[in-house]
Chain A
């Protein structure tokens, strides 16, 4: 790579439908969408951009299974293996229905926090991170369509025109260090 920096073109919109239309048109012309920044989740925009459904659910399932297993093993260890006690005549030699509530709670706990951690890692969200905004109003009422300027046969003219025709309020360009 000769150029270390990445160049981006941004189209700024004030309407969710307009940005959606532009994404459809640009994708129809073979342009890859780098990202869209929106103040709220625009329904279907991810599909339009060609983002695949997240696999976080698999992670969630695995964490849940882990929590469930740990809870079962731990309760068995405490109640049956390490220090069996006779409390109120309840059996203490295996897994009994009275262990189900704690098993359930730990399954949920592990699923929730495991999945959330994966989410934060995957989306690179972390406390103290300084945000990279195109426009401060992109978290208020503006929608930003970002396209990376690729070196090979990138038709900047066409991209700009499509965005302006699609209702973009303005076009900005920026170079970011990689």
Chain B
């Protein structure tokens, strides 16, 4: 039993009933896709083709096609890897952490955010895999196989190996969480299916779900525990990504705040991407009653919070670099601000720290067009953050004779653009074949008669004042 304070905004507007929810969420699955869908899908496929082309060339001709060099051995690829992994974090945050914090607004956005997580991790995985050079054998070396089967045993002391474990655990647990959350909705689609193929496919996927309360009771416990363990998991993933850098002795990389700072940045960028996608999706698919202005407002607050946390981390890093008195640290940060990549640093600062502060204004937090622009700015800013961290710390190392500049080649740019193709192809397919909003959960928070009856009873605090 729950009571909702009357001052809370309704989470579903337009007086929707349970059957409206089913009908509206299932509509894209049961009808031919719109022209807009085809347009977007085609564009994504074009980008995906670029990905395939650039990756095939990178594999056959080698990484000489990339702009990396001896001094800057990690650059574009790792930037993009961290960028995509970071984007993935919002999905798990929304479904796990917000579930633990009882933020009910998560219910209509968690499905698509989780899907986004999974697709973003696919995109991320491409970069380290292809950076290994020989992609047909590299992944085998990352598996813990005995000496006789591979090269040697993997090195568990290496943060890169921790990453293999973290990302693969994250991907598989996220898939599980996402799928488990979808089973009841798949059953709903199954029970409405008009064609035998659809019936067959969704019957297979829904595992014979019948909505039994005995199942629901266990299902809720499982969801809660999964949320409970996904929360430290999601923190651990970007923590371990940050340790790829922070365990080293490179100025600007080795700093103890990296783990929580990367996590905050990841959530920040992830919410940027969720907003970008959902502002389009709610418009195109007509889900304004489910993803309301109130939802956007709440997400903007998260952006504001995490943006400020990232800002605090930037300032802390800078402060300690100065406080430490270590000349290399001091130089690394000066070089970021005023070195040859100053433009990247100041783009990052503007996009990540200054612009989110605009969200203090409530009016702007509730203006979808403004939010859309801001969400893209956040994404750009977070991409630059990784670029700044990786390239500016490397390009001027301890030995001034090896100082160089880095710039990406067309092939590298092609791979990055291509990953957007992969991401959006997956997302368009998801929007066509799977329910974009969690129907079962949204039905449970409908402000319908089931709840009004309760609310009437306790509308006013029954206070006996003496």
Answer whether A and B touch in the complex at a CB cut-off of 8 Å.
yes
B2 at the interface (CB under 8 A from A): yes
Hey, which chain A residues are within 8 Å of B161, CB to CB?
A: 102
Query: Which B318-369 residues have C-beta < 8 A from chain A?
Result: none
Number of interface residues of B (CB under 8 A): 73
Query: Which B204-232 residues have C-beta < 8 A from chain A?
Result: 204-222, 225-226, 229-230, 232
Q: Is the CB of A41 within 8 A of B444?
A: yes
* Bound complex: CA A40 to CA B213 (Å): 9
Q: Is the CB of A130 within 8 A of B220?
A: no
Contact segment of A45-53, A147-155, A157-165, A170-178:
A45-53
A88 at the interface (CB under 8 A from B): yes
A31 at the interface (CB under 8 A from B): no
Interface size class of A (residues with CB under 8 A): 35 or more
A101 at the interface (CB under 8 A from B): yes
Q: How many A-B residue pairs have CB under 8 A?
A: 219
Q: Is the CB of B444 within 8 A of A109?
A: no
Residue with the greatest number of chain B CB neighbours at <10 A, chosen from A64, A112, A122: A112
A90 at the interface (CB under 8 A from B): yes
Query: Which B428-466 residues have C-beta < 8 A from chain A?
Result: 439-441, 443-444, 449-450, 453-454
Q: Is the CB of B218 within 8 A of A122?
A: yes
Hey, which chain A residues are within 8 Å of B222, CB to CB?
A: 54, 56, 115-116, 119
Contacting A44 at CB < 8 Å: which of B1, B146, B215? B1
* Bound complex: CA A116 to CA B221 (Å): 11
Query: Which A50-65 residues have C-beta < 8 A from chain B?
Result: 51, 53-54, 56-57, 60, 64
A27 at the interface (CB under 8 A from B): no
Hey, which chain B residues are within 8 Å of A104, CB to CB?
A: 232, 236
Q: Is the CB of B440 within 8 A of A105?
A: no
- Min Cβ gap B316→A in Å is 23
A42-B213, A111-B229, A112-B176 are known contacts. Are A119 and B440 too (CB-CB below 8 A)? no
Closest to A119 in B: B222
Q: Is the CB of B152 within 8 A of A83?
A: yes
Q: Is the CB of B173 within 8 A of A141?
A: no
Q: Is the CB of B225 within 8 A of A60?
A: yes
Query: Which A21-38 residues have C-beta < 8 A from chain B?
Result: 35-38
Q: Is the CB of B190 within 8 A of A131?
A: yes
Q: Is the CB of A78 within 8 A of B156?
A: yes
Closest to B217 in A: A46
Hey, which chain B residues are within 8 Å of A98, CB to CB?
A: 156-157
A112-B173, A113-B176, A141-B19 are known contacts. Are A131 and B203 too (CB-CB below 8 A)? yes
Query: Which B175-219 residues have C-beta < 8 A from chain A?
Result: 176-177, 180, 183-184, 187-188, 190-192, 203-219
B115 at the interface (CB under 8 A from A): no
Hey, which chain A residues are within 8 Å of B453, CB to CB?
A: 17
Q: Is the CB of B218 within 8 A of A108?
A: no
- Min Cβ gap A169→B in Å is 14
Flag A54-96 by CB within 8 Å of B: 1 or 0 each. 1011001000100000000011001100110101101010001
Hey, which chain B residues are within 8 Å of A17, CB to CB?
A: 449-450, 453-454
A15-B450, A138-B211 are known contacts. Are A39 and B443 too (CB-CB below 8 A)? yes
Q: Is the CB of A112 within 8 A of B213?
A: no
Q: Is the CB of A40 within 8 A of B441?
A: yes
Closest to B20 in A: A141
- Min Cβ gap A153→B in Å is 25
- Min Cβ gap B253→A in Å is 16
Hey, which chain A residues are within 8 Å of B2, CB to CB?
A: 43
Q: Is the CB of B173 within 8 A of A99?
A: no
B243 at the interface (CB under 8 A from A): yes
A5 at the interface (CB under 8 A from B): no
A16-B450, A56-B222 are known contacts. Are A101 and B214 too (CB-CB below 8 A)? no
Q: Is the CB of B204 within 8 A of A128?
A: yes
Hey, which chain B residues are within 8 Å of A42, CB to CB?
A: 213, 216, 444
Contact segment of B47-55, B57-65, B162-170, B283-291:
B162-170
**26 residue pairs A–B, Cβ–Cβ below 8 Å:** A17-B450, A35-B213, A37-B213, A42-B216, A46-B216, A46-B217, A54-B222, A78-B153, A79-B156, A90-B157, A96-B157, A102-B161, A105-B236, A108-B232, A119-B219, A119-B222, A123-B219, A125-B215, A128-B204, A131-B206, A131-B210, A133-B210, A139-B188, A139-B190, A140-B19, A141-B17
9 residue pairs, one from A and one from B, having the closest CB atoms = A129-B208, A141-B18, A46-B217, A101-B162, A125-B207, A40-B440, A40-B444, A36-B213, A105-B165
**A-B contact sample (8 more), CB < 8 A, given A56-B218, A133-B191, A138-B211:** A38-B216, A82-B153, A83-B152, A92-B157, A101-B162, A106-B169, A128-B204, A140-B19
